[in-house]
Amino acid sequence: MRVLMGLFSFTVIFILAGCRKEQAAGPQSVPVKAESVATQEVRSSWRYSGEIRPDKQVQLAFKEPGYVDSLHQLRGADGRWRDLQVGDETAAGTVLAHLRRSDYEASLNTAVGQQQSVEGALDAAKAELDQARADQTKADLDFQRAEALYSAKAMTRPDYDAAMAHHDGAIASVQASMRQIEARRGQLHEAQAQIVSARINLGDTNLVAPMPGVIVEKDVERGTLVAAGTRAFTLDDTRAVKVAFGVPDAMLAHFRMGSPLPVQIEAIGETLTGRITQIAASANRESRVFNIEITLPNGDRCLKEGMIASVRIEQANAQTVPVVPLTALMTAESGSNNYSVFAIREREGKQFAELKSVRVGQTVGNSVVVEEGLIPGERIIVNRTNQLNDGTAVRVIK
């Protein structure tokens, strides 16, 4: 009996030892595929998104106050005449709106009447001057005779003094008439200036388009009472348009004034060629990027304000860079280019997955450029990355 109990105990111990040995062996390694980090010649490129803007935009406002009497008329799609509205094209010099002119015509008529009155007063002053000069001529002769008689003692002192006073009075009358004429001439110049001002104000009752363009905003209708400076229309000149976008300082070397650049317009599905017409001299204080503008011809008016455009910049010379398959990448951190990959590491004759952070660049086919974190020739895992953790035992299969 004791012998049987001994055999049973030995058997139990042997089985338990076998279980502990099996547990110590741990989980089996994960079969994975691995590739070496390759190199490839690529030409780096950068894509920037911008929006279409008009070449020029003018906000048209009334200089004078008044009631809007009429708007420019166009023939509508139904064949009837209608007032100017948003989306209509206008030529340079088109009178877009009229203010009521009667008040300004009255001011002009008043100024004209004032000028005519002053001209009449000036003519009268000139006649008075002619009479005063005639009186002075006669007074000069009378005074010369009085001097001769007084010298010959043929005239009394009181008569001589009276002749002198009459002569001095004639001279004073001429001078007064000349001053009156100068005053009337000043009044005439003022009246003429009032006429010019009244005519300008009357002309400003017409709101004229300074350039050809498209009406993009309309803020008045017939009968609207406007004050001086009230905006009536916003006019865009879209014969040429601009694509505006921002770039960091490191990219400024890729842009030169006047250089041609392809611009992809998503709305029309075409790529057009424009020229760089503006490079900001300083960075935007908020975004810290430099604003760039590309001008595109728009003769057919197919490009509209607000359309999205893409600009692609390519590096002049190709560079040899490390690349890895897209399947090797783990999910990036939100809002960054930081990804992770699993590299193969060997310890004590076994292979393990080692998690490494990498910074990637542009995509090239089914691969992506690695800018930082890996070196050419380093082996990485290209499948089953979602089944691995840092330190997981792996087995490379073909």
User: Over the stretch 119-178, which tens digit does the pLDDT of each residue have?
Assistant: 898 899 889 889 988 988 988 998 898 888 888 888 889 888 888 898 899 899 889 989
Spatial distance between the Cα atoms of 292 and 247, rounded to a whole number of angstroms: 7
Looking at this protein, which amino acid is placed at residue 34?
A
Identify the top-confidence range among 5-9, 97-101, 366-370: 97-101
Length of the chain: 398
Q: Which CATH superfamily is 103-203 part of?
A: Helix Hairpins (1.10.287.620)
3-state secondary structure of 47: strand
Is the Cα dihedral 326, 330, 335, 337 positive or negative? Answer: negative
Tokens encoding 191: 């009246």
Q: Which CATH number fits domain 57-99+205-232: 1.10.760.10, 2.40.50.100, 1.20.120.1200, 1.10.510.10?
A: 2.40.50.100
With 90 as the cut, is the pLDDT of residue 207 above it? yes
Alpha carbon distance 380, 394 (integer Å) = 12
Residues 83-129: pLDDT tens digits?
999 989 999 999 999 999 998 999 899 999 999 998 898 899 889 88
User: What is the distance of C-alpha 50 from the center of its chain?
Assistant: 12
Q: What is 237-314's CATH number?
A: 2.40.30.170
What is residue 7's predicted lDDT score, i.e. its pLDDT? 42
The residue ranges of every structural domain in the chain are 28-42+318-396, 57-99+205-232, 103-203, 237-314
Q: Looking at the DSSP assignment, which residues form a beta bridge with residue 345?
A: 352
Can you tell me which residue has the tokens 């001529």? 137
Q: Please name the helix (run of DSSP H) or strand (run of DSSP E) that holds residue 167, with its range, or none.
A: helix 157-203
Predicted confidence at residue 13, as pLDDT, reads: 46
Instruction: Please name every residue paired with 57 in a beta bridge, in sequence order, or none if there are none.
Output: 236
Sign of CA dihedral 372, 373, 375, 378: negative
For 28-42+318-396, the fitting CATH number among 2.40.420.20, 3.10.129.10, 3.40.630.10, 3.40.50.300 is 2.40.420.20
Q: What pairing do the DSSP bridges indicate for beta strands 393-396 and 30-32?
A: parallel
Taking only the tens place, the pLDDT of each residue in 295-312 is 999 988 899 888 999 998
